[in-house]
Structure 1
Amino acid sequence: MSGNGNSYQKNGGVGVYHEIPNGAEGGMSSKKKTMIGAGVVAVLAIVGYFGFGGSSEPTGASVAKVMEKADLNVKANGELKLFDKQKRFVQEDYDAVSTFASFLPGVAGYFGKPVWAFYVNRGQGISTFGTESKDYPLLEFNAANKAYQLTPYIGFRSFVRGSRGSTSFQSEPFTPSRSRNILDENDDPSKPKRILYVGTNELEIQELDGVHGLTTNAEYFIMPEENYAALVRRATFTNSGDSEVTLDILDGLAKMEPAGGMLDGMLKNMGRTVEGWFGVYHADDTLTMPFYKLSTEPSDEAKVKIEQEGHYLMAFVETEDKEATLLPIVFDTNKVFGKSTSLESPRGLQASSVQEILDNPQYGDAKTSCAFAAVSQVTLQPGENITIASVYGKAHHIDRVPEIAEIIKAPGYIQEKAQRAKTLINNLTASVETNTANPLFDGAVKQMFLDNSLRGGMPTIIGDVEGTKTYDEDPGVKVFHAFSRIHGDLERDYNAFKIEPAFFSQGPGNYRDVAQNRRDDVAFTPRMGSFDVQQFLSFIQADGYEPLTVEAVVYQFTDSAKAAEAAKAVTGDPKSEDTLTKVLKGGPFRPGQLFDLMDLLNITITASNEDFVNTLVAGAEDFAMAVYGQGYWADHWDYYVDLIEAYLSIYPDEEESLMYDTSLRYFFSTATVKPRSQKYILTLTFDGKSKHVQQLESTYYDQDKAKEQEAFRDQNTGLISIDANWQRTPGTSGTAFKSSALAKLFLLGSIKFAMRDAWGMGIEYEGGRPGWLDSMNGLPGMVGSGMPETYELYLLLKYVKSVFDKFDRPIIIPSELWKMVNTTEAALDELEASGYVDAEELTEDVPEELFEYWDVVASARENYRNDVEYYFSGNTTTVDAKDGSKMISRWLDQIELGMKRAAYFTTLGYGDDGSSGVPACFFSYEVTDWALNKNKNSVGLPCVNAKAMKVGRLPMFLEGPVRYMKTIQDDQDKMKDLYQRVLKSGLRDTELKMYFLSATLKGQTYDIGRQIAFAPGWLENQSIWMHMSYKYYLQLIRGKLYEEFFSEMKGGGILPFMDAKTYGRSLMECSSFIASSAFPDPSIHGEGFLARLSGSTAEFMSMWKLMFIGPTPFYLNKEGDVEFQLVPAIPSWLFEDPESDSEPIRDEDGSLTVNFKLFAHIVVTYHNPSGGDIYGEPPKKYKVTMADDSEIDIDGSVIPTDTALEIRRVKPVKSIDAYY
């Protein structure tokens, strides 16, 4: 903790502390249960109060004097530095500056159970926390706009009654009534100084109150590595005055929600009614272990569920050398706040003392309770302090609470856990430990890695963990992505996040998020091999789409003997062995679920936690899991080439095996894409004066597919087998249809090629959803298409062709697909035979020949999907490598032609006449002629068959040049030309020196989607969307535009090089978007919104990899052998930065150095005697130090095969020194 944060002592001195009676003599009502209720607290007014009693003004040091005493990290000019001595972000006067919201990571370690906790820079920080999801809060979840208002009132509060000599005072640290007004030069200078500290795994606030001579700190962290989930609060009260002070303290939550099923919706929609179920129970006859729960889960059904789970608060004054004594808890809200229903003022406490509250009955029926730890008459000498440790958590039964109490009361326990919470995250982020002349950059790397892992999951090797074999080499090696979750939080209130309160905690993630954020997994964890590539390619469906949600893998024993053998190895008695064997035979499992079952079924485990997990998963098989969700997004497949390239940069010698020798299934979703004849709908235009054709209701829930899955339901367990997730061949003997990786990529490319729009430019958004920019949700309705997908298709087909050409091996594909491909080829023949060629000047109307081609190919696609809607027939066709390559060459020519047409039509928007040369991103199509068919949509509107179309143009979007750059990144001239065009275009925010997500949308129709519904500069409408901006910057360094890239980075385009006060939050943490200069209110230009879990972290880690490792560290030489070469791109200012007050790192010869962790294990040091830029240059020589301290000196830029393979195995190598 900052300041005088030691527990209740200083220099060996301990304050005089009188324990409070625990309330056994009447502090509890005669009823067994008591509870309190409130629903949503309405803050009627902010009425400041200096103290909550009528006392005289106390003596005390001034704020300046108190700050001098505090251990603050101060610049020479007296301002606080951006980061404290613990490298935590510092926000001065946090509750007086612009609001921001963020969260604790929700990581309790592999063998810990996390809670989720969100915070704001208002009140005492934490605005909501709970277990699993927002449906299970201990402090009610409120979206950010409400959290900013309510947190100071319904959240954590501290009430202090003090006496210093003959003077008494009453105060509430952090009360909004005493916040500074930094806009008012005449603001009261005696107001407390408040500081926010943001660490990687903790939050701390500090108030320095010179008037009362009291410094208050509150630190929060998630309890790490325990078999219970809890949020820990450490509130430290320090006497910063010059004389002795005696304090009474109430510290805790103003509102504590009980456990009782999924409460979030009920709290918001029937909050008063649900309070009827509320109650507070007690684990013993004192007030020290209250248990907040509902009597039953609210329902009017015949089946009643009695609630056993509950929430608890236990608190004590921290000690280091003896077991702590639990403090009594005040849970009756009326006793604290009286009739102040806004919770603004503690009127109940004003009228009585802490001891008087405890000595009298408390009630809590039919109202929402509070949870305050009570301390009475603690005396502190100057400089002394007292720390109240409070543990807020959830237990499955009231009997569990005393057991937890015995754990947390141990001497020094909380202090040790606070330190462990920090080292835990440091250990998890050590994979990318980086040491340069810029510590701010180094810290940002670790934070980006952490946040990338929270969104995509942290790849963890389990099973056969010993040795060096990979997932591909050893079936006992398994990969589990821990700590992942959907990015839901106070600002992303639309997403239903889930953080499993279990060991190896994880939650589901959105497909595109996970696919992007796992891009470089293999570069950090080489032992995972091709796991990611195989998993995502297996999710490709027969129709060319993918599910919406990716879940963690599950494990299952398909061999009963192996299950019995594994159970025997980890248990110590026959009963446990038999029970565990039945569990393992019963179906799929995840590690966290197994541990919970061990407790539930009283299975005795003799192995350690690590050995238990590793033994069981090593013998089981792993199965990918996903859920359809809703709609088919057009971009989910866009990220496969990136995953493949990342894998090949580590395992270039395994390409043939991956592409040809894998056997991958096809995911089976319950939704079907409709043919055009059922989704081209004739509707009224917005003004109601005419009709037009829209593409609506593109998919439908297929009841017959659901019946197919239902057939896999186990009649004993009631669960549907994981086999139901995979498309099969027909009949009772049917099996999951499988293809090689290359065959699946060929299938994907073929279908996407058949989805090109009528002008042959973009890929149609015919599945009802757009691509990456999902705020263009109206574009599918406009029969729209996207060039980003075309550029990605170009790269995909080029890759497939290269594999055909390189290995000259055939692939086997479903015969149904071959039929579609043949029809496509025949349509191309017909188009060529027609003699059609593009005119010099193209019109918006689609030429008849192109329309006919489009209609035939789209019909072939629809017929194919109809053929494989439920099953693959099982019939296959072999495609010769040369035939496949020839076909793809022809398709690539057509795609290139479409790209030229897109460059001709280009963009059109307000102030954009199409002459910028910036590649187009989207097109729409107007059906200009149609014929009614007999179909109707769900509301009875008629369906049509299109007879003619014309293309519509849209403004510039940054995604257009970003994706196009991937097709030209090896041509520096083209890259530089496009960079300059974008720089001079409407995509550049000249005020912020960043890049808009889109140019102005002024004049565009609302039909394009919610993007235009927002104010310019806000959310996706012409804001700085950090993920796409980072994609753009990544393309610059991929294209070797080093000067441009580092100029953009250091110029403030990339964290941590933005202005902290403007950005408004930690420079270590990405936001989803930054309010751009297009926003009407200039006061928030440059401010970040939507915390952390942005895809920009994936792009940042790719940048980091290119900066410190290079694009292809492992490659094949002319003889086909693996070699290793580092080709970094590091600017001189990371070796020595004159703008930084940090000393550069030098070696024993005086050469400047930087170092980083390769593969989370090998320390790589670059020695740069000149101190200049190193841009795309390999070292001149290496020294490789092995694990046994032997050294290998290599003269030259390449590390030869034998040593290269040892580096890839990671464990045999300790360090690499690379010399320039």
Structure 2
Amino acid sequence: MSDYRLENNEFIIENYDSKAPFTSFLPGLTGEDGIPLWSFYVNRGQCLTSFGIEKKENPIMEFQPAVIAYENTSLKGFRTFIRKNDEYFEPFSVNYDAKVKRTMRIKANSFRIIETDYTHNFKTEITYFILPHEPFGALVRNVTFTNLGEEADFEILDGMSRIIPYGIPGTKFTTMANLMRSYNTVSNLKNDVPLFFSRIESDDAAEMKENVGGYYYMCFDNNGTICPIYDPCALFENETSLQFPINFIMHGLKFVAGYSQHFTNKISCAFAPVAKKLSTNQNYTLSTLCGFAHNEDFINRLIPHILDKEYINKKLVEADQLALKYTNDIATTTGNPILDEYFRQSYLDNFLRGGYPIVVSGSNDDKVLHLFSRKHGDPERDYNQFSTAAEFYSQGDGNFRDVLQNRRCDIIFHPEINEFDIRQFYSLVQIDGYTPMYVKACTFSVIKKHKEDVYKFLDDTVLHGKSKIISALEDRFTAGSLANVILSNNISITISIDEFLHRILDFCQQNYESSTEKVGNYIDQWDYLLDMILCYQRIYPEKIEDLIFKSKVYKYFDSDQTVKPRNEKYFFDGKKARQLDAFYVNTKKYELGYKAEDTNWLKTSSGEIYYTNLIEKLIAIIVNKIALLDPCQMGIEMEANRAGWNDACNGLPSLFGSGMSENFEVARTCHFVKDVLTKYSNHTITVPEELFELYAKVNDSIATCSSGFELWDALATARETYRDKTCYSISGQTVAMDIPDFIHSLDIYINLLSDGVIKAMQLGDGLCPTYFRYVATDYEIIKENPNGYPNIKVNAFQPQKVVDFLEGPAKQIRNCTNPSEASHILDQVKASELYDKKLKMYKTSAPTITEGLEFGRIAVFTPGWQENESIFLHMEYKFLFSLIESGIYERFYEELTNVFVPFCNPEIYGRSILENCSFIVSSANPDETLHGRNFVSRLSGSNSEVLYIWTDMFLGKHPFIYKDNRLGLSLRPKLCGDLFDQNNRITYNFLSTNKVILHNPFRKNTWNAQIEKIIIDGEEYFGDTVWGDDAIKVRDKRNSVIDIYYQ
């Protein structure tokens, strides 16, 4: 039997601590009415390596980078010390014993580890999960000890080696723990549930502030609470390495429990002392909850509730059910159970980065909340901060591109969100076509006309504490922060908190929140915007006209970052021309009322926020991107300090770099807008006069300038003038655009972009390049800078192709309209250095060492590691998706079994093959033992690509169609016959709740099979499409089972 296997919904790893190290985390799914904590684990020791509240800076157990966590978890994580009839041993210790068997069993929202020690005839089983459906957050650790030998007396110490007091930031603890221990305080000992906190805030400020709240540590068994040992000297005395609890080993539990403890000037521990006589096969269970409490009274009130004998078991069931509840949206049953569970896990990890959408219905309008999201920071991504709000309806922040990528399929699973995602993300597009860096949790604010309604509602529902709620409602708030006001102040209300929040939100407007980071603008932040519209079109094809033209609710995000003109960012560095320091923070905006802590929107000269419709936003994107074409009109310029998703190419913008992938994205957008305008040509389109002027200049430049440098110079001048005019505001005056004229302009843009592809292919020797760099072959100094490089004016550029990357061909195949062309490109890629013949996978790049250090840190990474020649999973999956999207289904399935993680050998992959990663080490790496091994776990863009692949596989491109004023249900799965189970069936959920059953008696590939009939809840329809009201019922989720029969 393999050491890695799937049993029911648990992935099992035998002898986990002897396998290649990996990191993972508990997702913290606690429900709408729960408080999440973050927690990470590794396959070493007792696994839990760090956990805390809200963000990395609030650790309860110290956050550690993966490479350190692998070393330290066995010592500084959870520990268990046991004396059996005075013989000492430590379960899960690093000491090797051939008679000890260890197993890890991983579920989606919990995991457990089991040690069976045949030397000491003892079994220890530990379960971890985050407490669901409670107004307080907690990591739950449930330990069951079983005596497998003869009756014996057992003394047990179980707990944490170190607990960081609340109020000590993680970075300060890491760098100044010696000072920080001076503030340590422990209270509430008389109630056996100690509260650990710093007496003061740790800032070195003139005004000292006391901390409010603390981290509680509650241990209990069937007899009640057990006060933990909090002084590490009681166990370890002077054994500061923490390897051995010397007092316990030498003197036993009674000595340790009677030790005169002190918490002052120490880093506390938390160990529950237990003495038990256990007969043969008798077990004993110790439970621990650890989290944040606002004060002693708050946690003390909860003690009787927690001590219910079935409490922990009930909560574990609830935690596991939550994971099933949310991932049932994509519940899939094929002939491959691992693949089925993989889809669930990918769906889970996708919404952990993008958020799980829930609709709060109201009489005024609906609100959409995206729950459980967080930025992808973890022990392997130790460079990233992350935030998970410790409140009901918990939401987090994320990078614009990442959240957009992960939410683009929302509408496929949750049609009830309607236009929300599109409105949010397109509103955050700036007037210059760029986007902010971050998307933050949405907030709410009471609408002025509803203030009296709110006061009346509070009079009717709040028994006391109304003033605190009114105070909270005076500013922007989240649903969870309002719930925290009620809970932390023990405010009494006459209805449930859930209903109270829903009623309040109905009187509010929802605010999109975002912020910038002082790093410049990425070239590809906007790439997934069109996908969001196309997914909407798959579900609501009859509403596209209204979506594009009628909803005048879109705004323009206003950034404090301004891209410099060329004469301020082109330099001569003593050796060559470079593009450096390409943006600046425009402090003049602050003088005009810009607020860094707020989300700022573009205003007219009269001070009003400017609103528009989606067609204008699309036009703004297209025109701005055409104005950004590089000096050969092949790719889009990296003119704002940043490359794209591949951050490791960080030097490329300084080399006048450009990206070919964005050519294909602009072309897709042009084709879409052209199709829409051709179909709905009866509308009037208006745009701001400044945008129309840019549009006119772009067209005039294309018409009058020769291609190449002259056209580039004219386009760049036009965009710089446009940015000057729109930097602080716009006039508010609009100009009507002639639709036939604009369609003609789109044709010109499409041809220009197509010509760019031809040039690029010639430069790439037949394989589409992804990046270019440009060498300035003629330039002149225009300004000397005493403290820096002189500014220059470039008069000529020479393009240079960068080594091959996978992204260019992936985007090219997706844009193919001819399957044979797509197949040809696939053959070319397989014959190139992008294909790893050993692993039968696709590398992100060819060798980059020839590009030199100036290209970016990618050239410094070892081949096969990080972004350099590795199998970067989200890009490989993007390439895989392009195969099914372009219609080469047979070839898609040939590649699927080689590159999809659930088909990997877990011994080589090195973790559960239900979980994705950022990259797999390719065979280019000099260390052969790493070939095929995964690194940087789970929260990658690969999850989103899996969902995109799933939609094409199980739904087809157009699950709903609109023809002759009728809606049609037209599911066209693209499934190979081998995927069907032994009963020749495949089952999956459509729109989250409609169960689809495919019946394929001859196991045909469904793209070659004909649908004979469809039965919906017993109603039979012949043919392959269901029309009219019956299709609407399916979309409205008023049906339950859809049976599709193939001939």
Normalised-by-shorter TM-score class: over 0.9
Quote the offset at 1:1127 in angstroms: 0.3
In structure 2, give the amino acid aligned to 1:264: G
* Residues 660 and 936 of structure 1, relative CA distance in 2, 3 Å threshold: farther
On the 8 A contact 1:205/1:217 being kept in 2, the answer is yes
Quote the offset at 1:517 in angstroms: 0.7
- From 386, 389, 393, the equivalent of 1:504 is 393
CA distance in 2, matches of 1:431, 1:814: 42
On the 8 A contact 1:463/1:617 being kept in 2, the answer is no
In structure 1, give the amino acid aligned to 2:1039: V
SS at match of 1:83: strand
On the 8 A contact 2:234/2:259 being kept in 1, the answer is no
In structure 1, give the amino acid aligned to 2:313: Q
RMSD: 1.8
In structure 1, give the amino acid aligned to 2:152: V
CA distance in 1, matches of 2:1005, 2:187: 66
- From 828, 834, 849, the equivalent of 2:702 is 828
On the 8 A contact 1:1127/1:1179 being kept in 2, the answer is no
SS at match of 1:523: helix
On the 8 A contact 1:762/1:786 being kept in 2, the answer is yes
Quote the offset at 1:896 in angstroms: 1.0
* Residues 897 and 567 of structure 1, relative CA distance in 2, 3 Å threshold: farther
* Residues 234 and 582 of structure 1, relative CA distance in 2, 3 Å threshold: closer
Quote the offset at 1:338 in angstroms: 2.0
SS at match of 2:64: coil
Post-superposition Cα deviations, 1:900-947, rounded to whole Å, max 9, x if no partner, equal 1111111xxxxxxx3xx221111101112112223749x532111111
Counting only pairs closer than 5 Å after superposition, residues 742-757 of structure 1 correspond to structure 2 as 742-757=615-630
Counting only pairs closer than 5 Å after superposition, residues 488-527 of structure 1 correspond to structure 2 as 488-527=377-416
On the 8 A contact 1:476/1:619 being kept in 2, the answer is no
Please name the residue that 2:36 is paired with. Answer: 114
In structure 1, give the amino acid aligned to 2:893: F
Counting only pairs closer than 5 Å after superposition, residues 844-883 of structure 1 correspond to structure 2 as 850-883=708-741
Counting only pairs closer than 5 Å after superposition, residues 534-549 of structure 1 correspond to structure 2 as 534-549=423-438
In structure 2, give the amino acid aligned to 1:1172: K
Please name the residue that 2:477 is paired with. Answer: 589
Fraction of identical pairs, as percent: 34
Please name the residue that 1:702 is paired with. Answer: 586
- From 804, 807, 810, the equivalent of 1:956 is 804
Higher Cα radius of gyration: 1
CA distance in 1, matches of 2:26, 2:715: 51
Please name the residue that 1:1218 is paired with. Answer: 1044
CA distance in 2, matches of 1:1122, 1:497: 43
Please name the residue that 1:1106 is paired with. Answer: 952
* Residues 558 and 215 of structure 1, relative CA distance in 2, 3 Å threshold: same
Please name the residue that 2:539 is paired with. Answer: 650
SS at match of 2:924: coil
On the 8 A contact 1:111/1:504 being kept in 2, the answer is yes
SS at match of 1:1003: helix
SS at match of 2:663: helix
* Residues 575 and 229 of structure 1, relative CA distance in 2, 3 Å threshold: closer
Quote the offset at 1:361 in angstroms: 1.1
* Residues 623 and 1005 of structure 1, relative CA distance in 2, 3 Å threshold: same
In structure 2, give the amino acid aligned to 1:1097: N
CA distance in 1, matches of 2:454, 2:860: 60
Please name the residue that 1:1042 is paired with. Answer: 889
Post-superposition Cα deviations, 1:329-359, rounded to whole Å, max 9, x if no partner, equal 1111111112221111111212221122212
CA distance in 1, matches of 2:114, 2:468: 52
- From 333, 336, 339, the equivalent of 2:235 is 336
TM-score for the superposition, normalised by structure 1: 0.84
CA distance in 2, matches of 1:1216, 1:610: 34
CA distance in 1, matches of 2:876, 2:330: 23
Quote the offset at 1:1041 in angstroms: 1.6
Post-superposition Cα deviations, 1:1123-1164, rounded to whole Å, max 9, x if no partner, equal 11110012222213xxxxxxx3x3xxxxx2111111111111
Identify the range of structure 1 (998-1007 vs 452-461) with the bigger mean alpha-carbon deviation.
Answer: 998-1007
Counting only pairs closer than 5 Å after superposition, residues 941-1020 of structure 1 correspond to structure 2 as 941-968=789-816, 970-1020=817-867
CA distance in 2, matches of 1:252, 1:604: 36
CA distance in 2, matches of 1:297, 1:569: 35
Please name the residue that 1:224 is paired with. Answer: 132
Please name the residue that 1:41 is paired with. Answer: none
On the 8 A contact 2:661/2:808 being kept in 1, the answer is yes
Please name the residue that 1:276 is paired with. Answer: 182
CA distance in 2, matches of 1:704, 1:563: 38
CA distance in 2, matches of 1:456, 1:856: 40
SS at match of 2:849: coil
CA distance in 1, matches of 2:495, 2:986: 42
On the 8 A contact 2:815/2:886 being kept in 1, the answer is no
On the 8 A contact 2:454/2:504 being kept in 1, the answer is no
On the 8 A contact 2:655/2:775 being kept in 1, the answer is yes
- From 283, 295, 306, the equivalent of 2:210 is 306
Residue 931 (str. 1) matches residue 780 (str. 2): yes
SS at match of 2:815: helix
Quote the offset at 1:566 in angstroms: 7.6
CA distance in 1, matches of 2:937, 2:459: 42
Identify the range of structure 1 (331-340 vs 1091-1100) with the bigger mean alpha-carbon deviation.
Answer: 331-340
Please name the residue that 1:919 is paired with. Answer: 768
Counting only pairs closer than 5 Å after superposition, residues 194-593 of structure 1 correspond to structure 2 as 194-241=102-149, 243-261=150-168, 263-284=169-190, 288-317=192-221, 319=222, 324-376=223-275, 378-464=276-362, 475-561=364-450, 564-565=453-454, 568=457, 571-573=460-462, 580-581=469-470, 583-584=472-473, 586-593=474-481
Counting only pairs closer than 5 Å after superposition, residues 7-156 of structure 1 correspond to structure 2 as 75=1, 79-80=2-3, 82-84=5-7, 86-156=8-78
CA distance in 2, matches of 1:355, 1:1176: 75
Quote the offset at 1:670 in angstroms: 0.9
* Residues 577 and 396 of structure 1, relative CA distance in 2, 3 Å threshold: closer
Counting only pairs closer than 5 Å after superposition, residues 741-890 of structure 1 correspond to structure 2 as 741-808=614-681, 809-831=683-705, 850-890=708-748
In structure 1, give the amino acid aligned to 2:1024: S
Post-superposition Cα deviations, 1:3-38, rounded to whole Å, max 9, x if no partner, equal xxxxxxxxxxxxxxxxxxxxxxxxxxxxxxxxxxxx
CA distance in 2, matches of 1:638, 1:1062: 34
Quote the offset at 1:593 in angstroms: 0.9
Task: Name the count of aligned residue pairs.
Answer: 1043
- From 990, 995, 999, the equivalent of 1:1158 is 990
Post-superposition Cα deviations, 1:499-543, rounded to whole Å, max 9, x if no partner, equal 111001121011111111111100000011111111111111011
Please name the residue that 1:739 is paired with. Answer: 612
* Residues 80 and 1081 of structure 1, relative CA distance in 2, 3 Å threshold: closer
Quote the offset at 1:1179 in angstroms: 2.4
Quote the offset at 1:81 in angstroms: 5.7
On the 8 A contact 1:1163/1:1216 being kept in 2, the answer is yes
Gap runs ≥5 in structure 1: 1-74, 179-187, 465-473, 685-690, 714-719, 837-848, 907-913, 1137-1143, 1147-1151, 1186-1190
Please name the residue that 1:1188 is paired with. Answer: none
Please name the residue that 2:1029 is paired with. Answer: 1202
CA distance in 2, matches of 1:785, 1:936: 27
Quote the offset at 1:290 in angstroms: 1.6
TM-score for the superposition, normalised by structure 2: 0.97
Post-superposition Cα deviations, 1:704-761, rounded to whole Å, max 9, x if no partner, equal 1233344x69xxxxxx6x5x51000124xx2111221011111110010010011111
SS at match of 2:647: coil
In structure 2, give the amino acid aligned to 1:886: H
In structure 2, give the amino acid aligned to 1:136: N
* Residues 598 and 752 of structure 1, relative CA distance in 2, 3 Å threshold: same
CA distance in 1, matches of 2:593, 2:1002: 65
On the 8 A contact 1:566/1:615 being kept in 2, the answer is no
Quote the offset at 1:1002 in angstroms: 3.1
On the 8 A contact 1:567/1:581 being kept in 2, the answer is no
Counting only pairs closer than 5 Å after superposition, residues 594-673 of structure 1 correspond to structure 2 as 594-630=482-518, 631-663=520-552, 664-673=554-563
* Residues 566 and 1091 of structure 1, relative CA distance in 2, 3 Å threshold: farther
